[in-house]
Amino acid sequence: MIFQFLLAAILLAFVYAKQSFGGTALYCMAASSSLPVHVLTAFVLTIIVQLVSIICYRLLINKNEKLRETLQKTGGDLIRKYQVEETLRAFRILSQPVHLMSLFQFFYSFNSFFVLYFNPHFSRPLYFFLMEANIYLPEYSLAFVFTFIRMENYVSDSSSKGLRKSIEIDTAVYFENYKKDWS
């Protein structure tokens, strides 16, 4: 939580870095006719943060998969195996929503950067249309709920199928072992 607060504070500091709070101020700094470098910097930093977060997410998945393999080979305690499996299950459930959020955020930041950078080449109505059309949050909020529910159902179904498959007993092997023990 502290990291999120600091990250938001840094991005807002870039946005409001050259803003003077005395006199007349523009309601929307992005609507100024000059190139708002501090706002563009915030968009670039947001793109970088999204890329770093996806890389960290992948590294965490790989680390947990390696830990699971190590625990399988060494026969680690059952509690650690369960914790690692549940962590991987949570990663599988959150995989599509995380990638979806990164995709939305990347395109939002990239499109906003593009529109702001080429602001002088657009007419005023076209500029405001492009800025308003670039806001994806309502679509993302609906997509997040649907993908999260879909992934949770998918992972639960595949987990229950895997559990059923692992507890199926081959009766022929059972009786062969039974015969060996009695002979």
Query: What is the signed CA dihedral for 68, 71, 72, 76, rounded to 10 degrees?
Result: -140
The answer on pLDDT for 72 being more than 80 is yes
The answer to whether the beta carbons of residues 137 and 51 sit under 8 Å apart is no
- Which pLDDT score is estimated for 82? 86
Per-residue pLDDT of 151-173, as tens digits, reads: 888 877 776 666 566 556 566 66
Give the global pTM: 0.64
- Which pLDDT score is estimated for 144? 76
C-alpha to C-alpha distances, 169 to 48, 160, 173, nearest whole angstrom: 51, 16, 8
pLDDT classification of 92: cutoffs 50, 70, 90:
confident
Mean pLDDT of the chain: 78
C-alpha to C-alpha distances, 70 to 66, 80, 85, 159, 162, nearest whole angstrom: 6, 11, 13, 21, 21
Per-residue pLDDT of 5-57, as tens digits, reads: 777 777 777 666 666 666 555 555 555 555 677 778 888 888 888 899 999 99
The answer on pLDDT for 93 being more than 80 is yes
- Which pLDDT score is estimated for 54? 92
Percent of the chain with pLDDT over 70: 74
- Which pLDDT score is estimated for 171? 66
Mean pLDDT within 113-126: 85
Map out the domains of the chain as residue ranges: 30-168
Query: What is the signed CA dihedral for 25, 31, 34, 40, rounded to 10 degrees?
Result: 100
CA 177-182-183 angle, to 5 degrees, is: 95
Mean pLDDT within 95-115: 85
